[in-house]
Structure 1
Amino acid sequence: MKPRRILITGGGGAGNEALWRLLHTRYELHFADAQAGVIDPAIPADRCVVIPSAGSPDFVSCLARICRERRIDLIVPCVDEELPLLAAARQQGTLPEVLLGSGEFVATMLDKLAFARALQAHGLAVPRTGLADEAADWRFPLILKPRSGRGSRGVMRLEQPAQIPAYLILQGTEPTQVVAQECIAGQEYTVFVLADRHAQLRAVVPVRVDSKRGITIRAATEANPAITAYAARFQAAFRPTGPYNIQCMVTAAGEVLPFEVNPRVSTTFCLAIAAGVDPFALYADETVTTAMAAFAPGLRLIRHWHNEFQPSAPMPTLSTHESTALSVRGQPKIGPALRPYIMAEVGTNHNRDLATARTMLREIAAAGCDCAKFQIYEPEEIVSAGVRASAYGLDKLYGDISAREMFGRHLQTPKEWFPELRDYCHELGMDFSATIHGPHGLRWAEQVGLDVVKIASMDHNNLPFLRSLVNRLPAPILVSFGMAQLPDIDATVKTLASHGPGAAFFHCCAVYPPKPEELRLGNLPFLAKRHGAIFGFSDHAMGVEAALAARAAGAVLFEKHITLDRRQSGPDHPFAMQPEEFAEYIATLRATPLGRPKVPAEFVPPTARELRNRSEYLKSIIIRRDLPAGHRLTADDVYLARPASGIPPGELDHVLGRVLTRAVAAEEILQWDRLAAAAAA
């Protein structure tokens, strides 16, 4: 008799190489996956096939064609998103036999809220489970997770109610799509259960989980009568056919509490087979029996990764020492193993009154702040002479004046204050920082002695300025990435990688205030992994929720605008935080552990609303004085300032030495068509 032909989907899964080793002499095994090249190379290429993802309209028809071509007898689905489609297609007779419970059973178990309610309705014990917006008054800690999902995606332990809205921001979802679950102390188990075609229970294999990172890494089979009895009650209540997996905790008192049931095989399926259970034979067995298959207890699963090496372009990263912790005033203060480092952006909210600035410092120090930051706002290093206050919507506050006059008269922090402010910060136990914007700011910073140097989003792509900072200042450099595209970020990290005191970076949404869907906090773990660097969150949102979501996404430092009173007139007061709120903000962040999120596969670019700000807030190369046609440009002929409607700062090296094709006027924004072609090398 020819062996049964079995097609296993999710062929790139962790346990499939073991399935091949254990079963390929008994069955003709085929493996399918939506990604080419992910199936273990130990499996012969002629037994591997690429199929569309479950989201494709061709998924079922393509799978049916493959099953006909390969004369498949049985499909074993291993991907949650495929299960409802396969259950429906099976009813229509378009597929061979599918090792899967009924469509109703699948739908109930894939919805983690419906699962809990169904178990409760049958009198089966389950941890307290409800929607996220019902859980604020529950006992903490608790678990939040998506109503549907797999591989521990989106699962997070919360320590306090304020983290619930932060979780929703981080996940970008609604409370109705998130389940809260009681956090149960005990030993975790993943339990392979199999019922035959007639819903007779044929196998229960409890597997003690010793180590888990999304999937089980270390585990062992165990004879556990309490788990076996619970599985029997579950089977009697729901009467599914085929395999399923009960994920549960067993308390110190021996109570079995399942937190999920997967209506399919799991990645530990291979361990049940290695322990002596043949699920395909048991499923097809027509013997009427109450006896269950024996298995070998104490059999251990130990997973080791297989490593392949492929050449690729090196990505700029910071050194291991720098990315572990940054030192400020000789002490390690910024890093993942330390408490969150919190900066108060005083900015312009002192209203150019020194007494107010000192009051603000006392208030933020009392709140527990680590560092106070000011803006020096050198007008000529921020904006060109042709820009008006109306370009920023500030003419209603300051009149129809030039933007330079606006910065100089209303927003600039007087430089003579800074020695006093620096010393007062140190007296209050805080570090001292300021944002600088160009060469004048750099020379000033060398004299005043900043503990931390801040670079604003407007200069994140100002590579000539960033290069000038490297090892000129004995302080770490922090850069905000508002409006930044991924190539901008890569170039900046590379530029600052050799700065001896170190550098760190703020993920930032340059919208004031941003909407939750504009925050893109998944970029935090993506960028931290891509660059091996320290990343934080420059927070322009209202409240603490966005910061908590950023903390869960791996942020280790935070920047927040503060004010004594939001009702004051000024560009930054309305979205700033008042002292009592800032104290709560700091306390909440310090009570929140650093998240260890899954790293997204891709960078999410700024939204259209944020990108529109690039033209007004980033910089261009500006002509400093009238110049005739034929003039060869030198560094003295140009400067870098807003707006960004001309040649960007990063192109300065390609501009200097070029000849003007026609005369240009002072304050003209330089365009490429004003320049002759570069001479051939």
Structure 2
Amino acid sequence: MFERRDHAFIVAELSGNHNGSLDRAIELMELAHDCGADAIKIQTYTEDSLTIDSDRDEFMLKGGLWGGQSYYELYKKAKTPREWMKPLFSHAKAHGILLFSSPFSYDDVDCLEEAGCPAYKIASYELNDIGLIDYCASFGKPMVMSTGLALEEEIDRAVAAVRKRGVTDLTLLHCESRYPAVPEKFNLKAIHYLKEKYGCKSGLSNHALGDELDIAAIALGADMIEKHFTDDRQNGGVDSAFSMDVKDLKKLVTDSRMVVSAMGRDGIYLHEDEYGARAGRRSIYLVKDIKKGEPLTDSHVKSIRPALGLEPYLLDSVLGKKALCDLKAPQPLNADDFLS
């Protein structure tokens, strides 16, 4: 499901940028699709499936984009309500849009199953919830898992749970889990490591603005790029500060196709249209007249452009050879011009 041959698979994450409006969620979904996103992702949870309503210190957010409010307040504001699932997935199906979701509880998964969700994403903070991972995998659908904050043995357990259920379409996303992300903390080489160790697709879930890190990730073999999306970063959405806007998403789509087309294949080879250009390279030319029987010296020959004579690497081997006939400079030197 999550494969494209000519470019990395681009996922636009809506998260809470719908600002509590179903109509706006649909508009953002259509907009991201029109900008070239291969899939749209949402998050399915209630505030009660993530935390409890408490103002005790451990339940309060400190600093950052959401500091000063409780987890419960943030999730209540940011959630995509369960009652939206059926209309969202129905609209996506009717308009040829690939939509999938991150569930955060068994009830969320059940709701998504009823709505016809075709694939599941496990968020970084849920990667240690093996029960939830197992339940998602039990439906046999393609799965994506973010690995931000995870130790390697935790990724091992999560992948084992998915494979135990027979899921073969798995994508692991490397993730720098700060909001917004800090470029020097990315360790993009983990993308290749995930692919090699677990034998699955890999990619990047990125919360940094700009597409420089995404392009670097694709060059390192990323199959998927996931980024938050909004129409305007000034609209007040809970994640809008680190989300792509329309211009950003279009650029990412264009740039991702460019870099994949530039990757080529292993080995050294020429394209068909390059062979003609080889005539502009150097070759051995006679630059001083020579009589029949005279030996060639370095005063007679020189490596210059164009490439109509012998290859320059043969220059030393022709010195001292006798001319077979009178030769007038300038002309390309060929093997039948001198005694071997």
Q: Please report the TM-score for the alignment, with normalisation by the length of structure 2.
A: 0.70
Uncovered stretches (5+) of structure 1, i.e. residues with no partner: 1-326, 328-332, 599-681
1:427: which partner in 2? 94
Instruction: Answer yes or no: is the 8 Å Cα contact 1:360–1:564 preserved in 2.
Output: yes
Instruction: Answer yes or no: is the 8 Å Cα contact 2:78–2:238 preserved in 1.
Output: no
Instruction: Answer yes or no: is the 8 Å Cα contact 1:554–1:596 preserved in 2.
Output: no
Offset of residue 446 of structure 1: 1.9
Instruction: Answer yes or no: is the 8 Å Cα contact 1:525–1:597 preserved in 2.
Output: no
Distance 2:189 2:173 in 1: 13
1:456: which partner in 2? 123
The structure 2 residue matched to 1:357, chosen from 16, 21, 25, is 25
2:151: which partner in 1? 485
Judged with a 3 Å threshold, the aligned counterparts in structure 2 of structure 1 residues 353 and 394 are, in CA distance, closer, same or farther, namely farther
Match for 2:180: what amino acid?
P
Structure with greater helix share of residues: 2
Offset of residue 487 of structure 1: 1.2
Judged with a 3 Å threshold, the aligned counterparts in structure 2 of structure 1 residues 395 and 522 are, in CA distance, closer, same or farther, namely closer
- Superimposed CA distance per residue, residues 533-584 of structure 1 (whole angstroms, 9 cap, x where no aligned partner): 1111111111010100100111001111011111122431101011122111
* Moved beyond 6 Å, runs of 4+: 394-397
Instruction: Answer yes or no: is the 8 Å Cα contact 1:365–1:428 preserved in 2.
Output: no
Does 1:495 find its partner at 2:161?
Answer: yes
Distance 2:102 2:257 in 1: 25
1:334: which partner in 2? 3
- Superimposed CA distance per residue, residues 488-524 of structure 1 (whole angstroms, 9 cap, x where no aligned partner): 1122111111344432111110012222211100111
1:24-43 alignment to 2 at 5 Å? none
2:113: which partner in 1? 446
Offset of residue 407 of structure 1: 1.7
Give the root-mean-square deviation of aligned CA atoms.
2.5
Uncovered stretches (5+) of structure 2, i.e. residues with no partner: 267-340
Offset of residue 480 of structure 1: 0.5
Match for 1:364: what amino acid?
A
Match for 1:587: what amino acid?
T
1:63-462 alignment to 2 at 5 Å? 327=1, 333-334=2-3, 337=5, 339-386=7-54, 390-391=60-61, 393=63, 400=69, 402-408=70-76, 410-462=77-129
Offset of residue 338 of structure 1: 5.6
Distance 1:533 1:345 in 2: 22
1:631: which partner in 2? none
Structure with greater strand share of residues: 1
User: Percent identity between the aligned chains?
Assistant: 27
1:512-591 alignment to 2 at 5 Å? 512-591=179-258
Distance 1:423 1:368 in 2: 20
Distance 1:375 1:597 in 2: 37
Distance 2:60 2:235 in 1: 20
Distance 2:151 2:265 in 1: 22
Q: Secondary structure at the match of 2:132?
A: helix
Offset of residue 396 of structure 1: 6.9
Offset of residue 444 of structure 1: 1.4
Distance 2:8 2:17 in 1: 24
Judged with a 3 Å threshold, the aligned counterparts in structure 2 of structure 1 residues 569 and 529 are, in CA distance, closer, same or farther, namely same
Offset of residue 369 of structure 1: 1.1
Match for 1:451: what amino acid?
P
Kindly tell me the number of residue pairs found equivalent between the two proteins: 262
Offset of residue 380 of structure 1: 2.4
Instruction: Answer yes or no: is the 8 Å Cα contact 2:65–2:179 preserved in 1.
Output: no
Which has the higher relative contact order, 1 or 2, with Cα contacts under 8 A spaced 6 or more apart? 2
Distance 1:442 1:597 in 2: 40
Distance 1:386 1:339 in 2: 45
Q: Please report the TM-score for the alignment, with normalisation by the length of structure 1.
A: 0.36
Judged with a 3 Å threshold, the aligned counterparts in structure 2 of structure 1 residues 438 and 427 are, in CA distance, closer, same or farther, namely same
Offset of residue 343 of structure 1: 0.9
Match for 2:217: what amino acid?
A
Q: Secondary structure at the match of 1:365?
A: helix
Judged with a 3 Å threshold, the aligned counterparts in structure 2 of structure 1 residues 477 and 387 are, in CA distance, closer, same or farther, namely farther
Distance 2:140 2:29 in 1: 24
Instruction: Answer yes or no: is the 8 Å Cα contact 1:552–1:596 preserved in 2.
Output: no
Instruction: Answer yes or no: is the 8 Å Cα contact 1:343–1:560 preserved in 2.
Output: yes
Q: Secondary structure at the match of 2:259?
A: coil
Judged with a 3 Å threshold, the aligned counterparts in structure 2 of structure 1 residues 342 and 583 are, in CA distance, closer, same or farther, namely same
Q: Secondary structure at the match of 1:464?
A: helix
Distance 1:407 1:554 in 2: 34
Judged with a 3 Å threshold, the aligned counterparts in structure 2 of structure 1 residues 528 and 405 are, in CA distance, closer, same or farther, namely same
